[in-house]
Amino acid sequence: MEKLKLVLGSQSPRRKELLGWLNLPFSVLVPNIEEISEFTLPSEIVEDVACQKGRAVLQQLTDSQVIVVASDTIVVRDDDILGKPADLSEARQMLSSLAGRSHYVYSAVYLGRKLDGHLQEQSFVVKSKVYFDDFSEDTLETYLSFGESLDKAGAYGIQGASLTFISRVEGSYSNVVGFPLSDFLRELKSFIGVEQDDQGSWRKLFV
């Protein structure tokens, strides 16, 4: 089989770290899009934006050996999508609205490559449920002081100091971080047609 190259279309250090745990060589190319979707359902929005990111990166490449991976994550409370807060005041409001209750995190992943003049694409969505304790003002202000909130959807990152008030997660933990790793591994093997390889020979395809 031909050799393959993996490109991560993301500027997220968390996704870069998670993908690195698969122990596959990859490079990073940041997509330049507005991340706007015309869809209304959370699962459709997040999948649409992930696909937009991946296709934007793929347009910059001509090598048929390259597989582009892109992802997007959103936080949903009831029917409201919580993006990245504009400032600490908005972060405080978001986190306060999540206290003592549950919410959902959706992540979508896109896989794409140019193969024999055609576009081969695959995408999927993973949903996790996150439960917050009913935290005190002291806990909230302490968390905000770490400065984690401003670059994260929903104003928190599960892998950081927010663990002081997250009581449990139903579903994929890595999905809440921003990249559903175990699901991606399964989908990647399907994408390149090596689902039955349990010995790891398929890893040698990537250079």
DSSP 167-185: EEEES-HHHHHT--HHHHH
Q: Are 116 and 64 in contact (CB under 8 A)?
A: yes
Distances (CA, A) of 23 to 7, 26, 28, 57, 203: 14, 9, 15, 22, 9
Catalytic, 48? Answer no
Residue in 187, 124, 180, 130 with CA at minimum distance from that of residue 154: 130
Catalytic residue among 48, 63, 72, 138: 72
Between CA 3 and CA 10 the distance in angstroms is 23
- Which residue numbers are catalytic? 72
